[in-house]
Chain A
Protein backbone atom coordinates (compact mmCIF):
# COMPACT_ATOMS: atom_id res chain seq x y z
CA UNK A 1 0.00 0.00 0.00
CA UNK A 2 2.67 2.49 -1.04
CA UNK A 3 1.38 6.05 -1.24
CA UNK A 4 3.19 8.78 -3.09
CA UNK A 5 3.16 11.69 -5.53
CA UNK A 6 3.19 11.69 -9.28
CA UNK A 7 4.46 15.12 -10.32
CA UNK A 8 3.69 15.85 -13.97
CA UNK A 9 6.05 18.71 -14.75
CA UNK A 10 4.38 19.33 -18.13
CA UNK A 11 1.34 20.87 -16.48
CA UNK A 12 3.13 22.76 -13.69
CA UNK A 13 2.53 26.52 -14.01
CA UNK A 14 4.95 27.55 -11.24
CA UNK A 15 2.26 29.12 -9.03
CA UNK A 16 3.92 27.81 -5.83
CA UNK A 17 0.54 27.02 -4.28
CA UNK A 18 2.12 23.74 -3.14
CA UNK A 19 4.86 25.62 -1.27
CA UNK A 20 2.31 27.87 0.39
CA UNK A 21 0.00 25.01 1.34
CA UNK A 22 2.94 23.06 2.75
CA UNK A 23 4.09 26.02 4.85
CA UNK A 24 0.57 26.64 6.11
CA UNK A 25 -0.33 23.09 7.00
CA UNK A 26 3.00 22.22 8.59
CA UNK A 27 3.39 25.56 10.36
CA UNK A 28 6.70 26.27 8.68
CA UNK A 29 7.83 29.87 9.21
CA UNK A 30 9.40 32.07 6.53
CA UNK A 31 13.17 32.11 6.29
CA UNK A 32 14.73 35.38 7.48
CA UNK A 33 11.28 37.02 7.50
CA UNK A 34 11.14 40.11 5.32
CA UNK A 35 14.82 39.94 4.42
CA UNK A 36 14.73 37.30 1.74
CA UNK A 37 17.20 38.11 -1.02
CA UNK A 38 16.29 37.44 -4.62
CA UNK A 39 18.29 34.59 -6.15
CA UNK A 40 18.18 35.77 -9.77
CA UNK A 41 17.30 32.20 -10.79
CA UNK A 42 14.19 32.98 -12.81
CA UNK A 43 11.14 33.01 -10.52
CA UNK A 44 12.85 30.83 -7.93
CA UNK A 45 13.58 32.60 -4.67
CA UNK A 46 13.49 29.47 -2.53
CA UNK A 47 16.78 28.07 -3.87
CA UNK A 48 16.73 24.59 -2.46
CA UNK A 49 14.68 22.24 -0.37
CA UNK A 50 15.59 22.90 3.27
CA UNK A 51 14.49 22.43 6.85
CA UNK A 52 11.82 25.09 6.27
CA UNK A 53 10.98 24.39 2.62
CA UNK A 54 9.66 20.89 2.02
CA UNK A 55 8.34 21.81 -1.43
CA UNK A 56 10.44 23.77 -3.92
CA UNK A 57 9.25 24.91 -7.32
CA UNK A 58 12.12 25.03 -9.80
CA UNK A 59 12.15 27.24 -12.92
CA UNK A 60 14.34 26.48 -15.92
CA UNK A 61 14.39 28.94 -18.81
CA UNK A 62 15.60 27.50 -22.10
CA UNK A 63 16.20 30.03 -24.88
CA UNK A 64 18.18 29.60 -28.12
CA UNK A 65 21.71 30.95 -27.88
CA UNK A 66 21.14 33.54 -30.61
CA UNK A 67 17.79 34.44 -29.05
CA UNK A 68 16.14 33.79 -32.40
CA UNK A 69 12.47 32.98 -32.14
CA UNK A 70 9.98 32.12 -34.84
CA UNK A 71 7.17 33.80 -33.05
CA UNK A 72 5.99 34.45 -29.53
CA UNK A 73 7.84 31.96 -27.31
CA UNK A 74 8.24 29.55 -30.25
CA UNK A 75 11.64 27.86 -29.96
CA UNK A 76 12.06 28.61 -26.29
CA UNK A 77 10.83 26.70 -23.29
CA UNK A 78 10.12 27.41 -19.65
CA UNK A 79 10.26 24.26 -17.53
CA UNK A 80 8.80 24.14 -14.04
CA UNK A 81 8.92 21.42 -11.48
CA UNK A 82 7.76 21.15 -7.90
CA UNK A 83 10.49 19.22 -6.06
CA UNK A 84 9.89 17.28 -2.85
CA UNK A 85 11.24 14.37 -0.80
CA UNK A 86 11.11 11.27 -3.01
CA UNK A 87 10.20 8.84 -0.18
CA UNK A 88 12.60 6.36 -1.79
CA UNK A 89 12.00 2.62 -1.74
CA UNK A 90 15.64 2.32 -0.64
CA UNK A 91 16.06 5.49 1.40
CA UNK A 92 19.64 6.56 2.14
CA UNK A 93 18.59 8.70 5.12
CA UNK A 94 16.70 5.83 6.72
CA UNK A 95 19.59 3.48 6.04
CA UNK A 96 22.18 5.51 7.99
CA UNK A 97 20.07 7.04 10.78
CA UNK A 98 21.75 5.74 13.97
CA UNK A 99 18.98 6.70 16.38
CA UNK A 100 16.08 5.05 14.59
CA UNK A 101 14.47 8.49 14.27
CA UNK A 102 13.83 7.91 10.56
CA UNK A 103 11.21 5.23 9.99
CA UNK A 104 9.06 3.83 7.20
CA UNK A 105 5.38 4.36 7.90
CA UNK A 106 2.39 2.17 7.11
CA UNK A 107 2.01 4.27 3.92
CA UNK A 108 5.56 3.30 2.86
CA UNK A 109 6.62 6.91 3.30
CA UNK A 110 9.84 7.93 5.05
CA UNK A 111 9.20 9.89 8.23
CA UNK A 112 11.54 11.65 10.70
CA UNK A 113 10.45 11.36 14.34
CA UNK A 114 11.73 14.69 15.62
CA UNK A 115 11.37 13.56 19.22
CA UNK A 116 14.02 10.90 18.58
CA UNK A 117 16.44 12.72 16.23
CA UNK A 118 19.57 13.93 18.00
CA UNK A 119 20.99 15.99 15.15
CA UNK A 120 24.00 13.88 14.12
CA UNK A 121 23.40 15.00 10.51
CA UNK A 122 24.36 11.65 8.95
CA UNK A 123 21.12 11.78 6.91
CA UNK A 124 22.11 15.10 5.30
CA UNK A 125 25.10 13.51 3.62
CA UNK A 126 23.26 10.24 2.98
CA UNK A 127 20.36 11.59 0.90
CA UNK A 128 21.44 11.52 -2.76
CA UNK A 129 18.92 14.27 -3.58
CA UNK A 130 19.94 16.78 -0.90
CA UNK A 131 16.47 16.74 0.66
CA UNK A 132 17.05 16.32 4.40
CA UNK A 133 18.27 19.43 6.20
CA UNK A 134 19.05 20.38 9.77
CA UNK A 135 16.86 23.03 11.38
CA UNK A 136 17.76 25.76 13.83
CA UNK A 137 16.29 23.46 16.50
CA UNK A 138 19.18 21.05 15.89
CA UNK A 139 16.97 18.35 14.37
CA UNK A 140 16.60 16.99 10.85
CA UNK A 141 13.52 17.97 8.84
CA UNK A 142 11.92 17.13 5.52
CA UNK A 143 8.56 16.40 3.88
CA UNK A 144 6.45 14.03 5.98
CA UNK A 145 4.08 13.20 3.09
CA UNK A 146 1.63 14.90 5.47
CA UNK A 147 1.66 11.83 7.70
CA UNK A 148 -0.84 13.48 10.04
CA UNK A 149 -3.27 14.09 7.17
CA UNK A 150 -2.84 10.58 5.74
CA UNK A 151 -3.70 9.08 9.11
CA UNK A 152 -7.05 10.85 8.83
CA UNK A 153 -7.73 9.83 5.25
CA UNK A 154 -6.82 13.23 3.77
CA UNK A 155 -4.42 13.82 0.92
CA UNK A 156 -1.23 15.87 1.46
CA UNK A 157 -1.74 19.64 1.50
CA UNK A 158 0.37 20.33 -1.61
CA UNK A 159 -1.52 17.85 -3.77
CA UNK A 160 -4.84 19.25 -2.62
CA UNK A 161 -3.74 22.82 -3.35
CA UNK A 162 -2.24 22.15 -6.80
CA UNK A 163 -4.62 23.88 -9.28
CA UNK A 164 -3.45 21.99 -12.40
CA UNK A 165 -3.14 18.53 -10.87
CA UNK A 166 0.57 18.61 -11.64
CA UNK A 167 0.93 17.03 -8.18
CA UNK A 168 -1.20 13.95 -7.82
CA UNK A 169 -1.39 11.87 -4.69
CA UNK A 170 -2.38 8.22 -4.50
CA UNK A 171 -1.38 4.61 -4.78
CA UNK A 172 2.08 4.50 -6.42
CA UNK A 173 1.23 1.66 -8.84
CA UNK A 174 -1.91 3.47 -10.02
CA UNK A 175 -0.04 6.76 -10.36
CA UNK A 176 2.67 5.02 -12.37
CA UNK A 177 0.06 3.71 -14.82
CA UNK A 178 -1.30 7.27 -15.19
CA UNK A 179 2.23 8.56 -15.86
CA UNK A 180 2.91 5.88 -18.48
CA UNK A 181 -0.31 6.83 -20.26
CA UNK A 182 0.57 10.52 -20.11
CA UNK A 183 4.07 9.87 -21.51
CA UNK A 184 2.53 7.87 -24.39
CA UNK A 185 0.01 10.66 -25.10
CA UNK A 186 2.76 13.28 -25.15
CA UNK A 187 4.85 11.03 -27.40
CA UNK A 188 1.97 10.90 -29.87
CA UNK A 189 2.19 14.71 -30.03
CA UNK A 190 5.93 14.58 -30.68
CA UNK A 191 6.98 15.49 -27.16
CA UNK A 192 9.58 13.19 -25.58
CA UNK A 193 8.68 12.65 -21.94
CA UNK A 194 10.17 10.16 -19.51
CA UNK A 195 9.42 9.00 -16.01
CA UNK A 196 12.08 9.68 -13.40
CA UNK A 197 11.77 7.35 -10.44
CA UNK A 198 11.25 3.81 -11.70
CA UNK A 199 13.21 0.86 -10.25
CA UNK A 200 16.49 2.07 -11.79
CA UNK A 201 16.52 5.11 -9.48
CA UNK A 202 17.52 3.81 -6.01
CA UNK A 203 15.02 0.98 -6.26
CA UNK A 204 12.17 3.31 -7.16
CA UNK A 205 10.79 6.63 -5.90
CA UNK A 206 7.37 6.72 -4.29
CA UNK A 207 7.33 10.36 -5.37
CA UNK A 208 8.30 10.32 -9.02
CA UNK A 209 8.28 12.79 -11.92
CA UNK A 210 7.38 13.08 -15.55
CA UNK A 211 10.17 15.09 -17.26
CA UNK A 212 10.64 16.41 -20.79
CA UNK A 213 14.41 16.85 -20.55
CA UNK A 214 17.37 15.10 -18.91
CA UNK A 215 17.13 14.78 -15.12
CA UNK A 216 20.24 16.97 -14.66
CA UNK A 217 18.40 19.86 -16.33
CA UNK A 218 15.89 19.74 -13.46
CA UNK A 219 18.63 19.43 -10.83
CA UNK A 220 17.99 15.73 -10.32
CA UNK A 221 20.92 13.29 -10.26
CA UNK A 222 21.00 11.01 -13.32
CA UNK A 223 22.35 8.14 -11.26
CA UNK A 224 21.75 8.66 -7.54
CA UNK A 225 23.73 6.41 -5.19
CA UNK A 226 22.98 4.78 -1.85
CA UNK A 227 25.31 5.56 1.06
CA UNK A 228 25.85 1.89 1.89
CA UNK A 229 27.04 0.87 -1.61
CA UNK A 230 30.74 1.25 -0.84
CA UNK A 231 30.73 0.58 2.90
CA UNK A 232 31.51 -3.14 2.69
CA UNK A 233 34.45 -2.50 0.35
CA UNK A 234 35.74 0.26 2.64
CA UNK A 235 35.47 -2.03 5.68
CA UNK A 236 37.35 -4.72 3.77
CA UNK A 237 40.06 -2.20 2.91
CA UNK A 238 40.34 -1.25 6.58
CA UNK A 239 40.66 -4.90 7.58
CA UNK A 240 43.39 -5.47 4.99
CA UNK A 241 45.23 -2.39 6.25
CA UNK A 242 44.89 -3.61 9.83
CA UNK A 243 46.47 -6.91 8.80
CA UNK A 244 49.34 -5.11 7.05
CA UNK A 245 49.92 -2.90 10.10
CA UNK A 246 49.88 -5.95 12.37
CA UNK A 247 52.43 -7.78 10.21
CA UNK A 248 54.79 -4.82 9.87
CA UNK A 249 54.40 -4.04 13.56
CA UNK A 250 55.21 -7.62 14.49
CA UNK A 251 58.23 -7.59 12.18
CA UNK A 252 59.54 -4.37 13.72
CA UNK A 253 58.99 -5.59 17.28
CA UNK A 254 60.34 -9.03 16.56
CA UNK A 255 63.35 -7.98 14.47
CA UNK A 256 64.59 -5.79 17.28
CA UNK A 257 64.38 -8.70 19.64
CA UNK A 258 66.26 -10.99 17.25
CA UNK A 259 68.94 -8.36 16.67
CA UNK A 260 69.43 -8.00 20.40
CA UNK A 261 69.60 -11.72 20.94
CA UNK A 262 72.22 -12.21 18.26
CA UNK A 263 74.21 -9.29 19.63
CA UNK A 264 74.14 -10.53 23.18
CA UNK A 265 73.58 -14.25 23.02
CA UNK A 266 74.11 -15.01 26.65
CA UNK A 267 71.73 -12.36 27.91
CA UNK A 268 69.00 -14.17 29.83
CA UNK A 269 65.35 -13.24 29.33
CA UNK A 270 64.29 -10.96 32.11
CA UNK A 271 61.78 -12.49 34.39
CA UNK A 272 58.23 -11.69 33.30
Chain B
Protein backbone atom coordinates (compact mmCIF):
# COMPACT_ATOMS: atom_id res chain seq x y z
CA UNK B 1 0.00 0.00 0.00
CA UNK B 2 1.42 3.32 -1.03
CA UNK B 3 1.64 5.97 1.69
CA UNK B 4 -1.09 8.68 1.79
CA UNK B 5 -0.48 12.25 0.66
CA UNK B 6 2.03 13.75 3.02
CA UNK B 7 1.18 17.39 3.10
CA UNK B 8 3.02 18.32 6.25
CA UNK B 9 6.71 18.00 5.64
CA UNK B 10 9.89 19.11 7.30
CA UNK B 11 11.79 19.61 4.13
CA UNK B 12 15.48 19.86 3.51
CA UNK B 13 17.21 23.19 3.92
CA UNK B 14 15.94 25.25 0.97
CA UNK B 15 19.51 26.46 0.38
CA UNK B 16 20.77 22.96 -0.31
CA UNK B 17 20.82 21.52 -3.82
CA UNK B 18 20.46 24.88 -5.63
CA UNK B 19 23.21 26.67 -7.57
CA UNK B 20 25.19 28.80 -5.12
CA UNK B 21 25.75 32.53 -5.59
CA UNK B 22 29.41 33.06 -6.56
CA UNK B 23 29.67 35.93 -4.04
CA UNK B 24 30.51 38.47 -6.71
CA UNK B 25 30.12 41.95 -5.25
CA UNK B 26 31.23 45.52 -5.82
CA UNK B 27 34.61 44.66 -7.35
CA UNK B 28 32.76 42.81 -10.10
CA UNK B 29 29.99 45.44 -10.41
CA UNK B 30 32.58 48.21 -10.79
CA UNK B 31 34.58 46.04 -13.19
CA UNK B 32 31.50 45.57 -15.38
CA UNK B 33 30.84 49.33 -15.28
CA UNK B 34 34.40 50.58 -15.87
CA UNK B 35 35.05 47.78 -18.37
CA UNK B 36 32.03 48.91 -20.36
CA UNK B 37 33.31 52.48 -20.31
CA UNK B 38 36.84 51.53 -21.36
CA UNK B 39 35.54 49.31 -24.17
CA UNK B 40 32.94 51.84 -25.32
CA UNK B 41 35.25 54.87 -25.22
CA UNK B 42 37.84 53.01 -27.26
CA UNK B 43 35.35 51.70 -29.82
CA UNK B 44 33.70 55.10 -30.28
CA UNK B 45 37.07 56.84 -30.59
CA UNK B 46 38.32 54.28 -33.09
CA UNK B 47 35.11 54.54 -35.13
CA UNK B 48 35.48 58.33 -35.27
CA UNK B 49 39.17 57.91 -36.01
CA UNK B 50 38.15 55.80 -39.02
CA UNK B 51 35.09 57.64 -40.24
CA UNK B 52 35.02 60.95 -38.45
CA UNK B 53 36.06 64.47 -39.35
CA UNK B 54 38.90 66.65 -38.16
CA UNK B 55 36.68 68.29 -35.57
CA UNK B 56 36.21 64.89 -33.91
CA UNK B 57 39.90 64.78 -33.11
CA UNK B 58 39.26 65.91 -29.55
CA UNK B 59 36.68 63.15 -29.06
CA UNK B 60 39.04 60.54 -30.49
CA UNK B 61 41.91 61.64 -28.25
CA UNK B 62 39.68 61.70 -25.15
CA UNK B 63 38.40 58.20 -25.90
CA UNK B 64 41.89 56.84 -26.44
CA UNK B 65 43.17 58.49 -23.26
CA UNK B 66 40.35 56.93 -21.20
CA UNK B 67 40.57 53.34 -22.49
CA UNK B 68 43.91 52.27 -21.00
CA UNK B 69 43.46 53.73 -17.48
CA UNK B 70 39.96 52.22 -17.46
CA UNK B 71 41.38 48.85 -18.44
CA UNK B 72 44.06 49.04 -15.75
CA UNK B 73 41.40 49.77 -13.12
CA UNK B 74 39.45 46.75 -14.42
CA UNK B 75 42.45 44.46 -14.15
CA UNK B 76 43.11 45.66 -10.62
CA UNK B 77 39.48 45.12 -9.59
CA UNK B 78 39.47 41.60 -11.03
CA UNK B 79 42.72 40.66 -9.35
CA UNK B 80 41.70 41.84 -5.88
CA UNK B 81 38.39 40.03 -6.31
CA UNK B 82 40.17 36.66 -6.58
CA UNK B 83 40.44 34.40 -3.55
CA UNK B 84 44.15 34.05 -4.42
CA UNK B 85 45.11 37.30 -6.19
CA UNK B 86 48.75 36.21 -6.65
CA UNK B 87 47.49 33.49 -8.99
CA UNK B 88 45.75 35.86 -11.42
CA UNK B 89 48.00 34.67 -14.24
CA UNK B 90 46.55 31.16 -13.97
CA UNK B 91 43.68 32.60 -16.06
CA UNK B 92 45.90 32.80 -19.15
CA UNK B 93 48.76 30.38 -18.57
CA UNK B 94 48.68 26.74 -17.53
CA UNK B 95 50.38 27.11 -14.16
CA UNK B 96 51.65 23.53 -14.23
CA UNK B 97 52.96 23.80 -17.79
CA UNK B 98 54.44 27.30 -18.04
CA UNK B 99 54.46 28.90 -20.58
CA UNK B 100 51.63 26.93 -22.26
CA UNK B 101 48.58 29.12 -22.77
CA UNK B 102 45.07 28.24 -21.60
CA UNK B 103 41.89 29.23 -23.44
CA UNK B 104 38.51 27.56 -22.97
CA UNK B 105 36.45 29.48 -25.52
CA UNK B 106 33.22 27.89 -24.29
CA UNK B 107 33.79 29.31 -20.81
CA UNK B 108 32.91 33.03 -20.74
CA UNK B 109 35.29 33.70 -17.84
CA UNK B 110 38.24 32.15 -19.70
CA UNK B 111 37.28 33.86 -22.96
CA UNK B 112 36.86 37.14 -21.08
CA UNK B 113 40.36 36.96 -19.62
CA UNK B 114 41.73 36.74 -23.15
CA UNK B 115 39.45 39.49 -24.40
CA UNK B 116 40.85 41.72 -21.64
CA UNK B 117 44.41 40.84 -22.60
CA UNK B 118 43.84 41.45 -26.32
CA UNK B 119 41.89 44.65 -25.72
CA UNK B 120 44.76 45.78 -23.49
CA UNK B 121 47.09 45.72 -26.50
CA UNK B 122 44.76 47.96 -28.54
CA UNK B 123 44.15 50.29 -25.60
CA UNK B 124 47.90 50.58 -24.92
CA UNK B 125 48.75 51.45 -28.53
CA UNK B 126 45.94 54.00 -28.68
CA UNK B 127 47.00 55.55 -25.38
CA UNK B 128 50.64 55.97 -26.42
CA UNK B 129 49.55 57.44 -29.75
CA UNK B 130 47.20 59.91 -28.05
CA UNK B 131 49.78 60.97 -25.48
CA UNK B 132 52.43 61.55 -28.14
CA UNK B 133 49.86 63.39 -30.27
CA UNK B 134 49.03 65.67 -27.37
CA UNK B 135 52.74 66.41 -27.01
CA UNK B 136 52.77 65.15 -23.42
CA UNK B 137 55.31 62.39 -23.96
CA UNK B 138 58.68 63.70 -25.10
CA UNK B 139 60.38 60.33 -25.34
CA UNK B 140 62.14 59.87 -28.61
CA UNK B 141 61.56 56.11 -28.91
CA UNK B 142 57.82 56.57 -28.53
CA UNK B 143 57.75 59.45 -30.97
CA UNK B 144 59.71 57.43 -33.48
CA UNK B 145 57.37 54.45 -33.03
CA UNK B 146 54.32 56.65 -33.57
CA UNK B 147 55.91 58.19 -36.66
CA UNK B 148 56.66 54.67 -37.94
CA UNK B 149 53.04 53.64 -37.43
CA UNK B 150 51.89 56.73 -39.33
CA UNK B 151 53.92 55.64 -42.35
CA UNK B 152 52.12 52.26 -42.53
CA UNK B 153 49.70 51.82 -45.42
CA UNK B 154 46.22 53.06 -44.55
CA UNK B 155 44.82 49.54 -45.01
CA UNK B 156 46.84 48.33 -42.03
CA UNK B 157 45.57 51.20 -39.91
CA UNK B 158 41.96 50.53 -40.91
CA UNK B 159 42.30 46.82 -40.17
CA UNK B 160 43.95 47.53 -36.81
CA UNK B 161 41.21 49.93 -35.75
CA UNK B 162 38.47 47.57 -36.98
CA UNK B 163 39.97 44.74 -34.91
CA UNK B 164 40.22 47.09 -31.95
CA UNK B 165 36.54 47.97 -32.28
CA UNK B 166 35.74 44.24 -32.33
CA UNK B 167 37.81 43.70 -29.18
CA UNK B 168 35.97 46.62 -27.56
CA UNK B 169 32.58 45.12 -28.44
CA UNK B 170 33.73 41.77 -27.09
CA UNK B 171 34.76 43.34 -23.78
CA UNK B 172 31.55 45.36 -23.51
CA UNK B 173 29.33 42.37 -24.21
CA UNK B 174 31.02 39.35 -22.66
CA UNK B 175 30.44 40.59 -19.10
CA UNK B 176 26.72 39.93 -19.55
CA UNK B 177 27.43 36.52 -21.11
CA UNK B 178 29.59 35.74 -18.06
CA UNK B 179 26.43 35.82 -15.93
CA UNK B 180 24.46 33.76 -18.48
CA UNK B 181 27.23 31.10 -18.29
CA UNK B 182 26.09 29.95 -14.84
CA UNK B 183 23.22 27.81 -13.60
CA UNK B 184 21.99 30.48 -11.17
CA UNK B 185 18.30 31.26 -11.84
CA UNK B 186 17.72 34.67 -13.51
CA UNK B 187 21.31 34.83 -14.86
CA UNK B 188 21.08 31.48 -16.63
CA UNK B 189 17.82 32.48 -18.31
CA UNK B 190 18.89 36.06 -19.18
CA UNK B 191 20.00 35.41 -22.75
CA UNK B 192 19.77 39.10 -23.88
CA UNK B 193 22.09 40.15 -21.03
CA UNK B 194 25.22 40.26 -23.20
CA UNK B 195 23.53 42.60 -25.64
CA UNK B 196 22.05 44.67 -22.82
CA UNK B 197 25.43 45.21 -21.15
CA UNK B 198 26.96 46.07 -24.52
CA UNK B 199 24.25 48.64 -25.30
CA UNK B 200 24.72 50.05 -21.81
CA UNK B 201 28.50 50.18 -22.36
CA UNK B 202 27.84 52.23 -25.50
CA UNK B 203 25.32 54.61 -23.92
CA UNK B 204 27.44 55.24 -20.81
CA UNK B 205 30.55 55.78 -22.94
CA UNK B 206 28.80 58.34 -25.15
CA UNK B 207 27.61 60.02 -21.95
CA UNK B 208 31.09 60.09 -20.41
CA UNK B 209 32.65 61.51 -23.58
CA UNK B 210 29.91 64.15 -23.77
CA UNK B 211 30.47 65.13 -20.13
CA UNK B 212 34.23 65.48 -20.58
CA UNK B 213 33.91 67.48 -23.80
CA UNK B 214 31.36 69.78 -22.15
CA UNK B 215 33.70 70.27 -19.21
CA UNK B 216 36.37 71.30 -21.64
CA UNK B 217 34.16 74.20 -22.69
CA UNK B 218 32.67 72.74 -25.84
CA UNK B 219 29.20 74.06 -26.68
CA UNK B 220 26.27 71.65 -26.57
CA UNK B 221 25.44 72.62 -30.16
CA UNK B 222 28.95 71.75 -31.36
CA UNK B 223 28.48 69.24 -34.23
CA UNK B 224 31.09 66.94 -32.69
CA UNK B 225 28.91 66.73 -29.57
CA UNK B 226 25.57 66.57 -31.35
CA UNK B 227 26.62 63.43 -33.22
CA UNK B 228 27.64 61.76 -29.95
CA UNK B 229 24.34 62.82 -28.42
CA UNK B 230 22.39 61.40 -31.38
CA UNK B 231 24.27 58.11 -31.22
CA UNK B 232 23.66 58.01 -27.46
CA UNK B 233 19.93 58.36 -28.12
CA UNK B 234 20.04 55.31 -30.38
CA UNK B 235 22.06 53.31 -27.87
CA UNK B 236 19.52 54.15 -25.15
CA UNK B 237 16.67 53.08 -27.40
CA UNK B 238 18.38 49.75 -28.12
CA UNK B 239 19.06 49.33 -24.41
CA UNK B 240 15.41 49.98 -23.54
CA UNK B 241 14.26 47.48 -26.16
CA UNK B 242 16.65 44.88 -24.71
CA UNK B 243 15.36 45.52 -21.17
CA UNK B 244 11.82 44.87 -22.44
CA UNK B 245 12.98 41.74 -24.28
CA UNK B 246 14.84 40.52 -21.18
CA UNK B 247 11.79 40.94 -18.96
CA UNK B 248 9.56 39.20 -21.51
CA UNK B 249 11.97 36.28 -21.82
CA UNK B 250 12.44 35.93 -18.08
CA UNK B 251 8.73 36.11 -17.25
CA UNK B 252 8.12 35.00 -13.67
CA UNK B 253 11.82 34.19 -13.22
CA UNK B 254 12.56 37.95 -13.25
CA UNK B 255 11.04 38.36 -9.78
CA UNK B 256 14.34 38.97 -7.90
CA UNK B 257 15.19 41.95 -10.12
CA UNK B 258 11.73 43.48 -10.56
CA UNK B 259 10.26 43.19 -7.05
CA UNK B 260 11.23 44.29 -3.57
CA UNK B 261 13.96 46.85 -2.89
CA UNK B 262 16.04 45.66 -5.83
CA UNK B 263 12.92 45.94 -7.97
CA UNK B 264 12.37 49.54 -6.87
CA UNK B 265 16.00 50.29 -7.75
CA UNK B 266 15.53 48.59 -11.10
CA UNK B 267 12.37 50.46 -12.07
CA UNK B 268 13.48 53.85 -10.76
CA UNK B 269 17.26 53.71 -11.21
CA UNK B 270 17.56 51.72 -14.42
CA UNK B 271 14.32 52.19 -16.34
CA UNK B 272 13.25 55.73 -15.37
CA UNK B 273 16.48 57.53 -14.45
CA UNK B 274 18.78 55.63 -16.79
CA UNK B 275 16.61 55.14 -19.86
CA UNK B 276 13.20 56.88 -20.06
CA UNK B 277 14.22 60.30 -18.70
CA UNK B 278 17.37 60.61 -20.85
CA UNK B 279 15.38 59.49 -23.90
CA UNK B 280 12.68 62.09 -23.20
CA UNK B 281 15.35 64.77 -22.72
CA UNK B 282 16.94 63.65 -25.97
CA UNK B 283 13.72 63.82 -27.99
CA UNK B 284 12.80 67.20 -26.51
CA UNK B 285 16.09 68.89 -27.34
CA UNK B 286 17.36 66.77 -30.14
CA UNK B 287 18.60 69.63 -32.28
CA UNK B 288 19.83 72.37 -29.96
CA UNK B 289 20.02 70.81 -26.55
CA UNK B 290 20.92 73.21 -23.83
CA UNK B 291 24.25 72.77 -22.10
CA UNK B 292 22.68 71.91 -18.73
CA UNK B 293 20.17 69.53 -20.35
CA UNK B 294 22.85 67.58 -22.13
CA UNK B 295 25.02 67.39 -19.05
CA UNK B 296 22.12 66.31 -16.88
CA UNK B 297 21.19 63.66 -19.38
CA UNK B 298 24.74 62.29 -19.47
CA UNK B 299 24.85 62.07 -15.66
CA UNK B 300 21.51 60.23 -15.61
CA UNK B 301 22.76 57.72 -18.19
CA UNK B 302 25.91 57.02 -16.17
CA UNK B 303 23.92 56.53 -12.96
CA UNK B 304 21.52 54.21 -14.80
CA UNK B 305 24.41 52.13 -16.16
CA UNK B 306 25.90 51.60 -12.71
CA UNK B 307 22.54 50.77 -11.10
CA UNK B 308 21.79 48.29 -13.91
CA UNK B 309 24.94 46.33 -13.14
CA UNK B 310 24.37 46.54 -9.39
CA UNK B 311 20.82 45.17 -9.63
CA UNK B 312 21.65 42.45 -12.17
CA UNK B 313 24.68 41.21 -10.22
CA UNK B 314 23.33 41.46 -6.66
CA UNK B 315 19.57 40.76 -6.85
CA UNK B 316 19.93 37.11 -7.96
CA UNK B 317 22.45 36.53 -5.14
CA UNK B 318 20.13 37.87 -2.43
CA UNK B 319 19.76 36.93 0.43
CA UNK B 320 22.96 34.85 0.62
CA UNK B 321 25.08 37.83 -0.44
CA UNK B 322 24.33 41.25 1.09
CA UNK B 323 24.20 44.31 -1.22
CA UNK B 324 27.37 45.79 0.28
CA UNK B 325 29.50 42.69 -0.35
CA UNK B 326 32.80 43.62 -1.95
Contact = CB atoms under 8 A, between A and B. Distances in A.
Interface in A213-267: 217-221, 224-231, 233-235, 237-242, 244-246, 248-257, 260
B319 interface: no
Interface string A108-149: 000001011111111011111110111001111000000000
A58 B15 CA distance: 12
B90 interface: yes
Given A48-B15, A260-B223, A100 B183 contact: no
Nearest to A97: B107
Interface stretch (A23-31, A37-45, A159-167, A173-181): A37-45
B188 A225 contact: yes
Nearest to B227: A256
Contacts of A113: 96
Interface in B73-90: 81-85, 87-88, 90
Contacts of B94: 100
B265 interface: no
Contacts of A250: 47, 51
Given A44-B12, A121-B24, A139-B84, A237 B191 contact: yes
A257 B53 contact: yes
Given A118-B88, A122-B22, A245-B235, A252 B227 contact: yes
A101 B17 contact: no
Contacts, number: 289
Nearest to A224: B183
B47 A253 contact: yes
Contact of B2 (A190, A256, A270): A190
Nearest to A260: B223
Given A99-B95, A218-B17, A256-B226, A121 B22 contact: yes
Interface in B34-93: 44, 47-48, 51-55, 81-85, 87-88, 90-91
Nearest to B178: A122
B83 A119 contact: yes
A221 B183 CA distance: 11
A242 B173 CA distance: 8
A63 interface: yes
Nearest to A259: B223
Interface in B91-135: 91, 94-96, 102, 104, 106-110, 113
| Chain B residues touching A, range | 35 or more
A228 B231 contact: no
A58 B19 CA distance: 17
B90 A253 contact: no
Nearest to B48: A253
Interface residues of A, number: 94
A105 interface: no
A235 B194 contact: yes
A65 interface: yes
Contact of A134 (B23, B85, B113, B223): B23
A221 B185 CA distance: 12
B16 A125 contact: no
Interface string B1-26: 11111111111111111111111100
A270 B223 CA distance: 15
A44 B113 CA distance: 41
A116 B12 contact: no
A13 interface: no
A85 interface: no
B177 interface: yes
A248 B238 contact: yes
A241 B51 CA distance: 20
Given A219-B11, A245-B198, A98 B20 contact: no
B300 interface: no
Contacts of A255: 227, 230
B52 to A, nearest CB: 6
A64 B8 contact: yes
A39 B106 contact: no
A75 interface: yes
B195 interface: yes
Given A47-B15, A127-B20, A138-B84, A227 B181 contact: yes
A83 B228 CA distance: 56
A266 to B, nearest CB: 16
Contact of B109 (A122, A132, A190): A122
16 contacts: A58-B12, A63-B9, A98-B104, A100-B102, A117-B83, A124-B21, A124-B22, A125-B187, A127-B183, A139-B83, A234-B194, A234-B195, A238-B195, A242-B173, A246-B165, A249-B235
What 8 pairs across the A-B complex have the smallest Cβ distances?
A119-B83, A138-B83, A241-B195, A238-B173, A248-B234, A238-B194, A219-B17, A118-B87
Interface of A: 39, 41-42, 44, 47-49, 56, 58-65, 67, 75-77, 83, 92, 95-101, 113, 115-122, 124-130, 132-134, 137-140, 190-192, 217-221, 224-231, 233-235, 237-242, 244-246, 248-257, 260, 270-272
Given A63-B6, A118-B85, 5 more contacts: A100-B102, A126-B19, A132-B20, A234-B191, A238-B195
Interface of B: 1-24, 44, 47-48, 51-55, 81-85, 87-88, 90-91, 94-96, 102, 104, 106-110, 113, 165, 169, 173-174, 176-177, 180-184, 187-196, 198-199, 202, 223, 226-228, 230-231, 233-235, 238, 242
